[in-house]
Amino acid sequence: MMPIQISLAIYILHTNLGMGSLAALAATLAVLLCNIPMTNLQKRYQTRIMEAKDNRMKATSEILRSMKTIKLQAWDSQFLQKLESLRKVEYGWLWKSLRLSATTAFVFWGSPTFISVVTFWACMLMGIDLTAGRVLSALATFRMLQDPIFNLPDLLSAIAQGKVSADRVASYLMEDEIQQDGIEHFPKDQMENSIEIENGNLAGILSQATQLLMEYRSGKSSLLSCILGEIQKLSGTVKISGTKAYVPQSPWILTGNIRENILFGNAYDKAKYDRTVKACALEKDFELFSCGDLTEIGERGINMSGGQKQRIQIARAVYQDADIYLLDDPLDCMMGLLREKTTLYVTHQVEFLPAADIILSILTVENSSRTTQDPTPESEPIIESTSDAELQQTRQESEHNLSLEITEKEGKLVQDEEREKGSIGKEVYWSYLTTVKGGVLIPIIILAQSSFQVLQVASNYWMAWASPPTSETEPKFTMCAAACIASSSSRTFNSTKLFTTMLHSVLRAPMSFFDSTPTGRILNRASTDQSVLDLEMATRLGWCAFSIIQILGTIAVMSQVAWEVFVIFIPVTAICIWYQQYYIPTARELARLSGIQRAPILHHFAESLAGAATIRAFDQQDRFSDANLSLIDSHSRPWFHNVSAMEWLSFRLNILSNFVFAFSLVLLVTLPEGVINPSIAGLAVTYGINLNVLQASVIWNMCNAENKMISVERILQYSNLTSEAALVIEDSKPPMNWPQLHISGTEQSWGCRKDGQWEINPHTGLFRIVEPREGSIIIDDVDICKIGLHDLRSRLSIIPQDPTMFEGTVRGNLDPLEQYSDNDVWEALDKCQLGDLVRAKEEKLEASVVENGENWSAGQRQLVCLGRALLKKSRILVLDEATASVDSATDGVIQKIISQEFKDRTVVTIAHRIHTVIDSDLVLVLSDGRIAEYDTPAKLLEREESLFSKLIKEYSMRSQSFNSFPNLHN
């Protein structure tokens, strides 16, 4: 509309001022041309802002995913500083962008005065008479241009942001995609074999239950990825006949209940479902849950043990009733119900070999041997039935206790996101306005805006009295500049202060908060809501204040000439306010709903990306795409209704405003001659032209400001979360050499009681992930509940079951606090069998690690965790299934390293593999969260009825089965 408005304005000026309109046109074009360099510079700033925001959000997402590891390792402060430094970079570019926006606003806000001065001076030089009629007509025309010119800076900023966003999306769409023709698919029974690999690095034909016995780091996961088409094909052919199911090494569990995870989009068949559950040994697991298979699973299966997550995803694959099964080293997997299926199972655990028809032993990718074995008996289940003793251990595997909370919430761990109701409290506005220096900048902004309006009205009064324009009107530029700069400063300082407060609050929250809060809700606030604070909130409040000041100035001018207008203006204003009160509650709740509906989109998208290989393997791309589009529709629906409601309000406000203007115009025209000064009457008309726009804009801007203030409200929700205990307690610091050797005291009673059962993972109490409710935990005569969390966690080491690596470098992952020398790091790498691997990389210790450590195998990531423990040299080490992702030979090497390096230290081992604990000095067996047995292994084995003896017998039976395995050759 701006070109049309400018053309009409120039035409009107040409009619009144003749050739003087050319000066107005030249001044207008000069103002518009100023936006070219400013827009280009703004685009560059927006690119930098988006890049900085990407880096911050990627780091935030990674930290939220790995929060438990960060807390266990006492890295809270380090990663907090990392996020603050990334925000500082983003803030730097934001400040430059906002300063440019302030400069742009200064130029364009001063442009009406600049254009009028140039036009009137040109008329004087050309000898054109400036009568009151011509001056007032020109002023009215300039005022018609004022609003579109005022909005031009925001328009240019939006164009720059849109161009940057479009370029980023286009760049992403141009990235390489998975080869659609990499795998040749055929219907079932149209090929002699189910899987055929020809002319590749591995050549083979698979049509039976096949196990690939592969060394650690030999590329077993990569082999399955090739068959699935997840890796680019360079040569050869891969043919697949029939449907397929895939079980990855690292469990991928969807947020939802257990049944939804097993069905995975298929219809519920009770007989088939019960058969699958029984075959996958999930019946006893369901008994542990208050709601059985309808118990909700937290994000990434946070409230499930590692074994439970594996059994659930195996059940998911079995329920699909696929023709081909690709299993990447899942725990305790056997081939019972799959005897009629083609099953490719890669593993480094030799105890499962008797279940295979064909065995490919791959020491390196190039060498292989094949051996056949009799098929598995029909009666053998897919997963060995869990013994009672193993069930007791499973109960201890669960992550820190959430069962009571789940029970109280009727089986739901993740509750619907809370949202405020009713009007936004005054404390929210007050918190935002007084965040920086108690709000000292707010009066400066209001004073500058008021001065700008007062001087503009005064100058127009002066010209209406036939005084020629002079340079005395220039102070308006100074006031305008002051308002813009103060507003920009307040905007950046406020948003950064609120972000920092929220960041500190979230990172200091207990693990129970992260277990029950999807990361999408946190990321939504850290991205979308934070962007509103960075780029929109201050602008909306500024326009709200400026529009109120403008309409007050207009009312003041008109009251001097035609106070009778207020006879109609006041009731119309009352009607407008009534409309606003009617509209605001609806718009406010719609804005809140829109904000809440954004978090599920982020969560579902991140979850889908994490399980992309599984989704593609099950041919579920369409279902997940439809689910994502459905979530987008759910978010767009309240947004659409919000826009519709705003148009509803705008239409009615414009009608009422036009009615007021028409009444004012009729009143001024019908007044008897000599009652008022014609010049002042003309001035009143020029201001009355914009009265309808101003009256609507006041209501519009107030509504917009309240809608945007919801983002402040949502950020404040996460700025006062319940915090963990203090990191450091100065009056209760442990000795420098603490702890020394052993853990003492047996009155540990942490966790929650549930239906007579107790569920706990020992390290959650030892590291105070869950605070003890009664009793005490004593380490070397120090009650760990009375010291700071950092003092406790920094003195202990843990190698977790789920290995975690962060994006960065090898050195940064081993020593994120930069406490050790390169020689110490190399020594730790050599001891954990990674030294040669890192030396082979060109960058050595600075070799890159991608997000989630995806360029390292699961076994390598677990060895990195071992390297951290070796580097830390704590006197107490907790091993939580530390060797689950490495082969038996490497496991033996690791156990030897641990026995040598930690021989004078206390090692607490939690393991499935019996041989990893059989050499321990003492064995503690927990049953229902309580100590059932505690003695030396020898004495426990003397009692045949002990739980430990039952586990040993079960392990011995597996070993005997392997030892009786016939030694066959090709």
214 - beta bridge partners? 362
Q: Are residues 532 and 491 in the same domain?
A: yes
DSSP 228: H
- The answer as to whether 335 is a domain residue is yes
Q: Who contacts 629 (Cβ-Cβ below 8 Å, separation ≥6)?
A: none
Q: Who contacts 765 (Cβ-Cβ below 8 Å, separation ≥6)?
A: 748, 750, 751, 772, 777
- The answer as to whether 969 is a domain residue is no
User: Is 359 within 8 Å of 373 (Cβ atoms)?
Assistant: yes
User: Is 667 within 8 Å of 567 (Cβ atoms)?
Assistant: no
Q: Are residues 25 and 88 in the same domain?
A: yes
Mean pLDDT of 39-58: 87
Check pLDDT > 60 for residue 202.
no
The pairing of strands 184-186 and 237-241 is parallel
Q: What is the residue-wise DSSP string for 668-686?
A: HHHSPTTSS-HHHHHHHHH
- The answer as to whether 512 is a domain residue is yes
**When comparing pLDDT for 668 and 21, which is higher?**
21
Query: For residues 442 and 542, what is the distance between their CA atoms, to the nearest angstrom?
Result: 10
The beta strand positions in 681-807, using DSSP E, are 743-744, 752-754, 757-759, 778-779, 782-783, 796-799
**Cα 865 versus chain centre, distance:** 25
Side chain identity, residue 283? E
The beta strand positions in 707-768, using DSSP E, are 743-744, 752-754, 757-759
User: Which tokens belong to 298?
Assistant: 């937290």
Q: Render pLDDT for 721-750 as a digit per residue (tens, 0 to 9).
A: 889 988 888 888 888 888 875 444 333 223
User: Is 509 within 8 Å of 724 (Cβ atoms)?
Assistant: yes
Q: Are residues 508 and 631 in the same domain?
A: yes
Q: Are residues 54 and 116 in the same domain?
A: yes
- The answer as to whether 732 is a domain residue is no
Q: Are residues 215 and 106 in the same domain?
A: no
- The answer as to whether 304 is a domain residue is yes
213 - beta bridge partners? 347, 361
pLDDT, the chain, mean: 75
Query: For residues 443 and 437, what is the distance between their CA atoms, to the nearest angstrom?
Result: 12
**When comparing pLDDT for 302 and 412, which is higher?**
302
Considering only CA atoms, give the Rg of the chain. 36
Using alpha carbons, select from 39, 326, 105, 64 the residue that is nearest to residue 211: 326
Q: Are residues 791 and 644 in the same domain?
A: no
Query: For residues 70 and 578, what is the distance between their CA atoms, to the nearest angstrom?
Result: 53
User: Which tokens belong to 499?
Assistant: 């972000």
Q: Decide: residue 672, CB within 10 A, 0-12 exposed, 13-18 middle, 19+ buried.
A: exposed
DSSP 904: T
- Residue 896: per-residue pLDDT: 79
Read off the pTM: 0.74
- The answer as to whether 379 is a domain residue is no
* Phi, psi for 425 (deg, rounded to 5): -65, 150
Query: For residues 510 and 743, what is the distance between their CA atoms, to the nearest angstrom?
Result: 25
Q: Using alpha carbons only, what angle is made at residue 595 by residues 43 and 87, rounded to the nearest 5 degrees?
A: 45
Check pLDDT > 80 for residue 363.
no
Neighbouring C-beta atoms of residue 509, cutoff 10 Å: 18
Q: Using alpha carbons only, what angle is made at residue 676 by residues 675 and 677, rounded to the nearest 5 degrees?
A: 135
Q: Please count the structural domains in the chain.
A: 4
Identify the residue whose tokens are 């001659």.
673
DSSP 385: P
User: Is 52 within 8 Å of 89 (Cβ atoms)?
Assistant: yes
Query: For residues 199 and 956, what is the distance between their CA atoms, to the nearest angstrom?
Result: 42
Q: Which domain holds residue 123?
A: 1-168
Q: Render pLDDT for 657-674 as a digit per residue (tens, 0 to 9).
A: 777 777 777 776 776 766
- The answer as to whether 530 is a domain residue is yes
257 - beta bridge partners? 296
Share of the chain above pLDDT 70, in %: 74
Share of the chain above pLDDT 90, in %: 5
Q: Are residues 603 and 458 in the same domain?
A: yes
Identify the residue whose tokens are 């009652």.
675
256 - beta bridge partners? 297
Neighbouring C-beta atoms of residue 203, cutoff 10 Å: 11
- The answer as to whether 733 is a domain residue is no
Helices (H), 787-924: 789-793, 810-814, 822-831, 835-839, 858-872, 888-901
Q: Are residues 771 and 684 in the same domain?
A: no
Helices (H), 20-131: 20-33, 35-65, 67-72, 76-109, 111-126
Q: Are residues 157 and 262 in the same domain?
A: no
Q: Domain boundary residue among 333, 360, 387? A: 360
HSE, side-chain direction, 13 A CA sphere, residue 380: 17
Mean pLDDT of 506-529: 87
Check pLDDT > 50 for residue 579.
yes
Query: For residues 262 and 279, what is the distance between their CA atoms, to the nearest angstrom?
Result: 13
Query: For residues 546 and 552, what is the distance between their CA atoms, to the nearest angstrom?
Result: 10
Mean pLDDT of 489-507: 79
Instruction: State whether residue 906 is helix, strand or coil.
Output: strand
Query: For residues 407 and 856, what is the distance between their CA atoms, to the nearest angstrom?
Result: 39
Check pLDDT > 70 for residue 344.
yes
Check pLDDT > 70 for residue 714.
yes
User: Is 739 within 8 Å of 800 (Cβ atoms)?
Assistant: no
Q: Render pLDDT for 772-817 as a digit per residue (tens, 0 to 9).
A: 877 788 888 888 888 999 999 888 888 887 788 898 899 999 998 8
Q: Are residues 836 and 935 in the same domain?
A: yes
H/E stretch holding 808: strand 808-809
Q: Are residues 29 and 126 in the same domain?
A: yes
DSSP3 helix / strand / coil % (the chain, rounded to 5): 60, 10, 30
User: Which tokens belong to 823?
Assistant: 């020689």
The pairing of strands 324-328 and 342-347 is parallel
Q: Distance between the two ends of the chain, CA-based, in angstroms? A: 81
**When comparing pLDDT for 745 and 945, which is higher?**
945
Check pLDDT > 70 for residue 397.
no
Q: Domain boundary residue among 168, 200, 215? A: 168
Check pLDDT > 80 for residue 293.
yes
Q: Are residues 648 and 775 in the same domain?
A: no
CATH of the domain at 792: 3.40.50.300
In this structure, of 383-387, 485-489, 825-829, 838-842, the range with the lowest mean pLDDT score is 383-387
Asked if residue 739 has a cis previous peptide bond (ω within 30° of 0), the answer is yes
Burial 424-434 (b: 16+ CB within 10 A, else e): beeebbebbbe
Q: Domain boundary residue among 340, 360, 380? A: 360
> What is the number of H-type helices and E-type strands within the chain?
35, 24
Query: For residues 733 and 791, what is the distance between their CA atoms, to the nearest angstrom?
Result: 7
CATH of the domain at 16: 1.20.1560.10
